[in-house]
Amino acid sequence: MAQKVYINGTLYAKEDAVISVYDHGFLYGNGVFEGLRSYGGKVFRIAEHLRRLWDSAKAIWLEIPITQEAMRRAIEDTLKANGIDDGYIRVIVTRGRGTLGLDPSSTFDPQVIIIVDRLTLYPDEYYDKGLEIVTVSVTRNHPAALNPRIKSLNYLNNILAKIEGFQAGCVEALMLNHKGEVAECTGDNIFIVRDGVLLTPPDHAGILKGVTRGAVIELAEDAQLPVQQVPLTKHDVYVADECFLTGTAAEVVPVVKVDSRIIGTGVPGPITRDLERRFRQLARS
């Protein structure tokens, strides 16, 4: 089946899905987006994703030209049109066409775009054996400059960190905030386990408040596992018993080495495995 892309209420063949080069989403990264997952044709926690999309838009004074209910229907219809049950969904809202200047008041016709595809972020071996990450020099955006809780089209901060990670031979990289505290990875949130307690950076550490992160916290609490959202340092990660990442595309993926230091026993730990299993059951329920 040929891939179809939704743009402002119309489904286009992939090769015909285009927007203006004068769109400020293209020119300046002026827009917002969400990444969602579907399992068995059902979009995982769509209400939470849409709320975050609308929050991101509100934070940058961008009015999304359709309602949340209309967006939900458009997402579901685009999934069906592409015949994809288990897939990845990218929802994009741009500022619209304008002049070559920065002035957003010159823009009009904001674009609502929905792309559906199949995505495998990490190979199975990373879930089986765990992955290695490295701390990079690229600092997470300062919240007073561009709050990381805004999922904007300007992802250069994360991309530069990703490049540095690749140069070090790692597929994912750990970013610190302006205080030198652990924030998150380039596309995933981070958790560690220490003495039977699940620890993760708080919202104010300069992180994107991940939907999968929230689901894992709920699962841990349901399993009577203590959870603390507290500032963390690299030292806390180095001496952790377990470490794992969470994200829409990644789900729950174990980490067994950080900055060449072996985490725990060097294999995915029991709490990580349990939460990984619980999340997959939740997502496919």
Order of all β-strands in the sheet with 10-13: 10-13, 4-7, 112-117, 87-94, 31-39, 42-43
Buried (b) or exposed (e) across 246-261, using 16+ Cβ within 10 A?
bbbbbbbbbbbbbeee
Cα 251 from Cα 280, distance rounded (Å): 8
The two three-digit tokens of residue 19, written as one number = 């927007």
Instruction: Give the separation between CA 147 and CA 156, rounded to whole angstroms.
Output: 14
Contact 132, 256 (CB under 8 A): yes
241-252 pLDDT tens trace = 999 999 999 999
pLDDT tens per residue, range 82-134 = 999 999 999 999 999 999 999 999 999 999 999 999 987 799 999 999 999 99
In the chain, domain spans: 4-117, 124-283
> For every one of its 285 residues, what pLDDT tens digit does the chain have, with 9 covering 90 and above?
789 999 999 999 999 999 999 999 999 999 999 999 999 999 999 999 999 999 999 999 999 999 999 999 999 999 999 999 999 999 999 999 999 999 999 999 999 999 999 987 799 999 999 999 999 999 999 999 999 999 999 999 999 999 999 999 999 999 999 999 999 999 999 999 999 999 999 999 999 999 999 999 999 999 999 999 999 999 999 999 999 999 999 999 999 999 999 999 999 999 999 999 999 999 998
Does the active-site annotation cover 151? yes
Which structure tokens are listed for 149? 């809780």
* Phi-psi label, residue 259: left if phi above 0, alpha if psi -120 to 50, beta otherwise: left
pLDDT at 202: 97
Reading the block at residue 205, the tokens are: 């550490």
Architecture of domain 124-283: Alpha-Beta Barrel (3.20)
Task: State residue 119's pLDDT score.
Answer: 82
Predicted local distance difference test score (pLDDT) of residue 117:
95
CA gap 259, 48 in Å, rounded:
33
- Which of 4, 58, 129, 151 is labelled catalytic? 151
Measured between alpha carbons, how far is 93 from 62 in angstroms, rounded to an integer?
9
Sort strands 189-194 and 197-200 into parallel, antiparallel or unpaired: antiparallel
Strand partners, 93: 32, 112
pTM (2 d.p.) = 0.95
4-117 is classed in which CATH architecture?
Answer: 2-Layer Sandwich (3.30)
C-alpha torsion 89→87→268→225, nearest 10: 70
